[in-house]
């Protein structure tokens, strides 16, 4: 191994690490300081009746976080335009007024949650019970709104009746009603994460640096280790890998008229078809549906293409493996890199559709680098696992065909996440592809950084699968040639 | 003198399942029935020898004696079950010509692809590119896809790429003479040049006369074991008598 070249490479990698860490810190900014939380509401089934002057409605609520920013409320206008003012007041159990906010009734939409921000953020105790009081001025029968209430939650396609204690029900002039008001309290939670950010980044860097130093010593003594493998990949085998990638690429589009253009036409056409088919079903639930669709398709396609290419990398190169010596990992790595080139090309139509739909280009797009790196690690791990399995059992590719289809349906590509029944959500969120795709969509569509937890999930799932893949591959690679 | 190839007590065993199992179902059934038996086949048994710098070492033996397996072990393609192999310096194993040729790519692209697979650096290939094309006598066809080549042209191109390098250790499975009579003569000369230019060579052939002519020492393999090793004339003589 060329030590000088490798040293340079390590320096470049270290610089990339710090640049990425700084980018994430700068772009993510507020998302790392605070996280927005909202209390849950029941589903709207009925109303409390016209809210006119002299009527007082109260509802017990729980503060979802230590800072309250406002509340969401679902009103019914009876299909007419009303006027007047709605007074909302929050009082704690000690009887102290915490916040008060007036709302122009004319602004309330029909049967939709409407966010009413507090003029000033107030500090409370998270989990503290509060009483919300609603009164009006200038409202008479025929010129008033009403508030939705309910006593069920939706679980899948069913409504489940909740038992609500008397204290939790709303009251009208002191008389308890049948359910709870459709009101969500918004708050923000202060995260301690940002204070520890550089500590975590620095700690991880020190750990990595120590590991590299350990490997460096090993490499000097002539041992083989991941550091040597990575350095060789860039130095000695760089030329070979470039040749293999360009071969894969040429082989893919040989004798096709449009050639490389297919790399971005393909996702674009898939998106168009799915847009036509599903827009009637899901469009209203998903803001910016075309970008939602295309981002899902592009990310998932990279995953499924890279894994299936990587899976056949050993069996497909049998004639080479039996006749020429080169490190076995070259084969899956070159296949994954050629999929990565495709992925990069598929990003172009995504940017195009973002332009057309008027999606804002925000600095949050830089965070996609982190997301893509995690996805790359995950894909590499999966490929290494499957190509090992594939060498010993040819069934793997058929099994993978079914599994990848299932995986596609389990990931929200063309449908909104909200159609998944609440009780399955915990399991549903464990899908790493869900994590990577949701991460990307938050950056692209919402233009903000995901929560710190999303970063943690992405990096953990990526590292675990990559580690498993490397270990499995390493353990069995000497036997591959005997099974080809 | 410096030892370039050191083969120390190398054994190579293959496990041959009673029926080659390649599906999970078959594996599970065989395992459950307790029928997962393997027949062991020992292709190499405790083979030891070494090759010194500049030496041309011949390897002879019948079909199935383990010659090709031994070459693969030395090239690093197979990992020995027991023992170890140490090879010093850069090795050019010529077990097959044109590894990785892609018939949809042009001759030029294939020179770089095949060269990269053989471990050449980019600078080296660029500097030797003209020489490769000239030697192969492909001419203007070099920018055509390989599928339009005659088989002789493919073989000539492959030979030209493989022999452009002057390695420290050369491992050859049969002398590669390809193409028509004229090119065969040319390629034989190139091989001789390569093998006599002070390079360390490990050379397998069935042509005993060629071995006697080329090699200084010979290892005679039989049933995976070293039957005899020693000076070329002596071993070749013995080998001939036994056949």
Are both A279 and A178 inside the same structural domain? no
Looking at residue A373, its pLDDT comes to 94
Confidence at residue B37, expressed as pLDDT on a 0 to 100 scale: 64
State pLDDT tens for residues A326-368: 889 999 999 999 999 989 988 988 999 999 998 888 888 989 9
The answer to whether position A11 is within a domain reads: no
Kindly state the average pLDDT of the residues A440-456. 88
Q: Which residues contact A280 (CB under 8 A, 6 or more apart)?
A: none
**Does residue A84 register a pLDDT over 60?**
yes
b vs e for A266-278, b when ≥16 Cβ sit within 10 Å of the residue's Cβ? bbbebbeebbeeb
A297: containing domain: 258-483
pLDDT above 60 (res B19): no
Structure tokens at A98: 């915490």
Are the beta carbons of A240 and B119 separated by less than 8 Å? Answer: yes
Q: Is residue A437 part of a domain?
A: yes
Q: Quick one: pLDDT at residue A26?
A: 84
User: Tens digit of pLDDT for each residue in A116-147?
Assistant: 888 888 888 888 888 888 888 888 888 888 88
Query: Using the beta-carbon criterion (under 8 Å), do A322 and B77 form an inter-chain contact?
Result: yes
Among A222-226, A423-427, B178-182, B190-194, the least confident range = A222-226
Residues A226-248: pLDDT tens digits? 777 777 777 788 899 999 998 88
| Residue A223 forms part of a structural domain | no
pLDDT value of residue A152: 78
The residue-averaged pLDDT of A14-24 equals 90
How many C-beta neighbours within 10 Å does residue B158 have?
A: 21
Does the CA dihedral B136-B141-B142-B144 come out positive or negative? Answer: negative
CATH number of the domain residue A72 falls in: 2.60.120
The C-alpha of B126 sits at a distance from chain A's nearest C-alpha, in angstroms, of 12
Reported confidence tier of residue A66, pLDDT bands at 50, 70, 90: confident
User: Which residue did the predictor score with more confidence, A253 or B160?
Assistant: B160
Residue among A239, A321, A392 whose CB faces B121 most closely: A239
* Judgement on whether residues A293 and A431 belong to the same structural domain of the protein: yes
The answer to whether A394 contacts B76, with C-beta atoms less than 8 Å apart, is no
- The answer to whether position A218 is within a domain reads no
Last residue of some domain: A168, A190, A212? A190
User: How far, in Å, CA of A310 to CA of A256, rounded?
Assistant: 23
Please provide the DSSP assignment of B59-97 as one string: EE--TTSSHHHHHHHHHTSS--SEEEEEE-S-EEEESSS
How far apart CA B37 and CA A123 sit, in angstroms, is 73
CB of B165 within 8 A of CB of B176? no
| Same domain flag for A410 and A274 | yes
Report the C-alpha gap between A308 and A325 in whole angstroms: 24
| Mean pLDDT, residues B99-110 taken together | 87
- Shortest alpha-carbon distance between residue B44 and chain A (Å): 15
Residue B99 pLDDT exceeds 60: yes
pLDDT at A447 over 70: yes
Each residue's pLDDT tens digit, A291-307: 998 999 999 999 999 99
Q: Which residues of B129-138 are buried (b: 16+ CB within 10 A; e: fewer)?
A: beebbebbbb
What whole-number percentage of chain A has pLDDT above 90? 26
Which residues from chain B sit within 8 angstroms of residue A483, using beta carbons? 22
Query: What CA–CA distances, in Å, run from A458 to A281, A340, A462, B212?
Result: 30, 18, 6, 65
Q: Can you list the domains of chain B with their CATH numbers?
A: 3-90+203-241 (3.40.50.300)
Residue A249 has pLDDT above 90, yes or no: no
**Closest chain A residue to B17, measured at CA:** A483
What is the pairing mode between strands A183-190 and B91-94?
A: unpaired
Same domain, A422 and A291: yes
Average pLDDT taken over every residue of chain A: 86
Look at residue A206 and tell me whether its pLDDT is greater than 90.
Answer: yes
Provide CB contacts within 8 A for B205, sequence distance 6+: B58, B59, B60, B174, B175, B211
Answer with the residue of higher pLDDT: B163 or B127. Answer: B127
Q: How many domains does chain A have?
A: 2
**Which of A10-24, A258-272, A343-357 has the weakest average pLDDT?**
A258-272
Q: Any bridge partners for residue B60, and if so which?
A: B220
- Same domain (yes/no): A346, A479: yes
């Amino acid at each position: 191994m060329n030590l000088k070249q490798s040293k340079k490479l390590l320096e470049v990698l270290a610089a990339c690490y710090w640049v990425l860490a700084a980018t994430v810190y700068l772009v993510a900014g507020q998302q790392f300081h605070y996280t927005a939380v909202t209390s849950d509401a029941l589903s709207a089934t009925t109303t409390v009746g016209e809210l006119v002057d002299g009527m007082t409605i109260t509802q017990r609520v729980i503060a979802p976080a230590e800072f309250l920013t406002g509340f969401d409320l679902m009103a019914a206008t009876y299909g007419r335009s009303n006027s007047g003012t709605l007074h909302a007041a929050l009082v704690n159990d000690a009887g102290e007024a915490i916040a008060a906010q007036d709302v122009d009734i004319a602004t309330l939409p029909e049967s939709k949650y409407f966010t009413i921000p507090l003029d000033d953020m107030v500090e409370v105790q998270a989990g503290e019970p509060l009483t919300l009081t609603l009164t009006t001025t200038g409202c008479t029968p025929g010129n008033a709104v009403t508030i939705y209430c309910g006593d069920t939650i939706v679980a899948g396609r069913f409504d489940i009746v909740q038992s609500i204690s008397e204290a939790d029900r709303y009251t009208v002039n002191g008389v308890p009603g049948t359910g709870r008001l459709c009101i969500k309290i918004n708050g923000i939670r202060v995260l301690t994460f940002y204070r520890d950010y550089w500590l975590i980044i620095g700690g991880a860097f020190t750990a990595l640096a120590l590991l590299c130093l350990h490997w460096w010593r090993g490499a000097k003594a002539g041992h083989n280790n991941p550091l040597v493998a990575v350095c060789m990949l860039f130095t000695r085998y760089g030329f070979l890998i470039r040749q293999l990638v360009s071969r894969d690429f040429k082989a893919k589009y040989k004798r096709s008229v449009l050639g490389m253009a297919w790399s971005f036409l393909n996702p674009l056409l898939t998106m168009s078809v799915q847009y036509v088919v599903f827009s009637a079903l899901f469009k209203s639930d998903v803001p910016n549906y075309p970008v939602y669709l295309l981002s899902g398709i592009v990310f998932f396609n990279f995953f499924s293409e890279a894994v299936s290419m990587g899976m056949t990398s050993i069996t497909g190169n049998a004639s080479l493996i039996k006749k020429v010596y080169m490190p076995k990992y070259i084969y899956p790595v070159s296949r994954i890199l050629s999929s990565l080139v495709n992925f990069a090309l598929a990003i172009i139509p995504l940017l195009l559709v973002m332009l057309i739909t008027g999606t804002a280009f925000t600095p949050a797009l830089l965070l996609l680098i982190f997301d893509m790196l995690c996805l790359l690690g995950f894909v590499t791990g999966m490929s290494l696992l499957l190509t090992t399995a594939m060498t010993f059992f040819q069934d793997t590719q058929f099994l993978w065909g079914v599994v990848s289809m299932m995986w596609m349906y389990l990931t929200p590509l063309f449908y909104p996440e909200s159609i998944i029944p609440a009780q399955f959500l915990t399991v549903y969120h464990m899908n790493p592809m869900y994590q990577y795709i949701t991460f990307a969509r938050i950056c692209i569509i919402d233009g903000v950084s995901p929560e710190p937890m999303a970063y943690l999930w992405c990096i953990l799932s990526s590292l675990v699968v990559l580690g498993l893949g490397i270990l499995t591959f390493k353990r069995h690679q000497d036997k591959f040639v005997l099974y080809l | 003198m410096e030892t370039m190839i050191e083969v120390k007590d190398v054994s190579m065993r293959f496990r041959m399942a009673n029926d080659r199992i390649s599906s999970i179902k078959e594996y599970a059934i065989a395992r459950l029935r307790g029928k997962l038996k393997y027949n062991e086949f020992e292709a190499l048994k405790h083979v030891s020898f070494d090759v010194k710098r500049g030496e041309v070492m011949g390897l002879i033996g019948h079909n199935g004696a383990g010659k090709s397996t031994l070459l693969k072990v030395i090239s690093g393609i197979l990992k020995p079950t027991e023992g170890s192999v140490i090879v010093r310096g850069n090795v050019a194993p010529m077990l097959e010509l044109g590894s990785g040729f892609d018939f949809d790519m042009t001759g030029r692209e294939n020179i770089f692809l095949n060269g990269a697979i053989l471990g050449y650096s980019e600078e080296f290939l660029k500097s030797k590119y003209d020489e490769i094309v000239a030697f192969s006598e492909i001419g203007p066809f070099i920018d055509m896809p390989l599928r339009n080549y005659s088989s002789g042209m493919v073989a000539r191109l492959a030979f030209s790429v493989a022999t452009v390098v002057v390695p420290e250790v050369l491992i050859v499975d049969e002398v590669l003479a390809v193409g028509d009579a004229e090119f065969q003569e040319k390629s034989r000369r190139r091989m001789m040049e390569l093998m006599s230019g002070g390079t360390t060579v490990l050379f397998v052939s069935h042509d005993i006369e060629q071995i006697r002519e080329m090699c200084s020492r010979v290892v005679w393999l039989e049933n995976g074991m070293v039957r005899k090793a020693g000076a070329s004339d002596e071993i070749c003589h013995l080998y001939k008598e036994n056949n």
